[in-house]
C-alpha cells in the first residue's frame, strides 16, 4: 500500500511558519512528507529543507515525494533530539523554521506491520527506528509488574494500570504475548463491560500509547530537543510544534515557557543573578486546535495542539 500524507493543520502550520524564499528550514518529523512539501514550495528557488525521521520508511518515501526538489533537500535518518549535531554537520548555525509534528504517522499505523494498531494482528514491535534495541514484545513479556504498572500509569494515564498489569502477567506466564491483537484482546477481557461502554476510547488505547512512548523513549527525546531549541533558530526564526496528548504538550508548553521567561532568580533578589534573558516569544496565546471539519476528515487530528514560538 502506498504512503499517504494526512498532515495535521496544514494551512495553520504553513501560515505560522511564516516562510520566505531562501529560508533554511527543518522538518523534524517527515512522516508522509505532507508538511515538508508545502515547506519546500514556500522557500524555493534557493531555500534548503533538512528533513529528519527516525523511521527509514519515511525517509524512503521522502526521497520519492521530494525528488523534484532534490537540490534543495537533505534527508537524515535520525532522531530530532540530535538536531544540534545534524546542523553542525551541515555547517548551519541557525535556521528560519523548525517543525515537529509528534507521534506516529498514518502509514506507521496502517501499513507499518509493527503493532502500533490494536485493530491489527501484527508483531508487538512498536519501534519507529528499527535500529533501536527495545521492542514492545520485550516490554510486555519481561518488565516487572511494578515497571509495567508505572509505565501504563505514567505514559498512558491509565487508571486501571494495576488490574490490567495483573492480567497481562497471568497471561504471559502461560505463553509469551506476541501480537498486537492478542494484547488488545487481553486488555478488552480485563476491562469491565460497564467501563467499556462508559469510555469513548478502545480499552487498549492507553496501554498502547504507553508502550509506544516507552519503546521509543518519546518524552525523553522531546525533552532533549527542547533544551537546545532557541540556539538553533536565527532571530525571527519560528518553531511550530504539534502534540497529540497532554504528556507531550506539557513538555512543549513548559519548554517554551522557560525560554520566554528569561530570568529564573527568586523574586526577592534585588538584581538578576542568573543572567537568563528571554529567547523566545509565543506567537499564539493559546495552542491552536484543529477545526471540526478537519477532525471529521482526519480523526487522527482529534487531539492535536499547535504551539508556535519565535526567536527574539
Ligand atoms: C505525525 S507523523 C508526521 C507527519 C508529517 N508531518 C506529514 O505531514 O505527513 C510523525 C513522524 O515523526 C517521526 N518521529 C517521531 N518521533 C521522532 C523523533 N524523536 N525523531 C525523529 N522522527 C520522529 C515518526 O517516525 C513519524 O514518521
Whether 76 lines ligand 1, by a CB cut-off of 6 Å, is: no
Fold of 10-107+219-311: Rossmann fold (3.40.50)
pLDDT in tens, 39-52: 999 999 999 999 99
pLDDT for position 192: 85
Q: Any residues with CB less than 8 A from the CB of 134 and at least 6 apart, and which?
A: 127, 214, 215
CA pair distance 222, 156, nearest whole angstrom: 17
Q: What is the pLDDT along the chain (312 residues), one digit of tens a residue?
A: 446 557 999 999 999 999 999 999 999 999 999 999 999 999 999 999 999 999 999 999 999 999 999 999 999 999 999 999 999 999 999 999 999 999 999 999 998 899 999 999 999 999 999 999 999 999 999 999 999 999 999 999 999 999 999 999 999 999 999 999 999 999 999 998 888 888 888 999 999 999 999 999 999 999 999 998 999 999 999 999 999 999 999 999 999 999 999 898 998 999 999 988 999 999 998 999 999 999 999 988 999 999 999 999
pLDDT for position 15: 98
Whether 32 lines ligand 1, by a CB cut-off of 6 Å, is: yes
The single-letter DSSP state of residue 122 is -
Name which of 219, 57, 38 is nearest 128 in CA terms. Answer: 57
Whether 247 lines ligand 1, by a CB cut-off of 6 Å, is: no
Question: 74: CA distance to ligand 1 center in Å?
Answer: 16
Q: Looking at the CA of residue 105, tell me the nearest atom of ligand 1.
A: 2
Give domain limits for the chain.
Answer: 10-107+219-311, 115-218
* Domain 115-218 part of CATH 1.10.150.170: yes
pLDDT in tens, 105-142: 999 999 889 999 999 999 999 999 999 999 999 999 99
pLDDT for position 6: 76
DSSP three-state, residue 165: helix
CA pair distance 169, 90, nearest whole angstrom: 48
**Closest residue (by CA) to atom 25 of ligand 1?**
55
Amino acid at each position: 500500500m502506498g504512503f499517504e500524507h494526512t498532515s495535521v493543520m496544514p494551512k495553520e502550520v504553513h501560515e505560522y511558519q511564516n516562510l520566505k524564499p531562501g529560508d533554511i528550514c527543518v522538518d523534524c518529523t517527515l512522516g508522509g512528507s505532507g508538511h515538508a512539501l508545502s515547506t519546500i514550495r514556500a522557500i524555493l528557488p534557493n531555500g534548503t529543507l533538512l528533513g529528519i525521521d527516525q523511521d527509514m520508511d519515511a525517509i524512503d518515501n521522502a526521497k520519492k515525494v521530494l525528488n523534484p526538489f532534490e537540490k534543495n533537500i537533505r534527508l537524515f535518518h535520525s532522531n530530532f533530539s540530535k538536531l544540534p549535531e545534524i546542523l553542525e554537520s551541515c555547517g548551519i548555525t541557525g535556521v528560519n523554521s523548525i517543525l515537529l509534528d509528534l507521534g506516529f504517522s498514518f502509514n506507521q499505523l496502517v501499513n507499518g506491520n509493527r503493532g502500533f494498531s490494536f485493530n491489527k494482528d501484527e508483531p508487538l514491535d512498536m519501534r519507529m527506528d528499527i535500529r533501536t534495541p527495545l521492542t514492545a514484545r520485550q516490554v510486555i513479556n519481561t518488565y516487572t509488574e511494578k515497571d509495567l504498572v508505572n509505565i501504563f500509569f505514567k505514559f498512558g494515564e491509565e487508571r486501571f494500570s494495576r488490574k490490567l498489569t495483573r492480567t497481562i502477567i497471568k497471561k504471559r506466564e502461560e505463553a509469551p504475548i506476541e501480537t498486537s491483537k492478542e494484547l488488545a484482546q487481553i486488555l478488552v477481557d480485563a476491562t469491565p463491560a460497564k467501563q467499556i461502554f462508559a469510555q469513548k476510547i478502545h480499552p487498549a488505547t492507553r496501554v498502547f500509547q504507553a508502550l509506544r512512548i516507552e519503546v521509543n523513549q518519546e518524552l525523553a527525546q522531546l525533552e532533549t530537543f527542547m533544551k537546545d531549541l532557541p540556539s538553533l533558530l536565527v532571530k525571527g526564526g519560528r518553531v511550530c510544534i504539534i502534540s497529540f496528548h497532554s504528556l507531550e504538550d506539557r513538555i512543549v508548553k513548559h519548554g517554551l515557557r522557560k525560554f520566554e521567561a528569561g530570568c529564573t532568580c527568586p523574586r526577592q533578589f534585588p538584581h538578576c543573578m542568573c543572567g537568563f534573558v528571554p529567547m523566545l516569544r509565543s506567537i499564539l496565546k493559546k495552542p491552536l486546535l484543529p477545526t471540526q471539519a478537519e477532525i471529521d476528515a482526519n480523526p487522527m487530528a482529534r487531539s492535536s495542539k499547535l504551539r508556535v514560538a519565535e526567536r527574539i
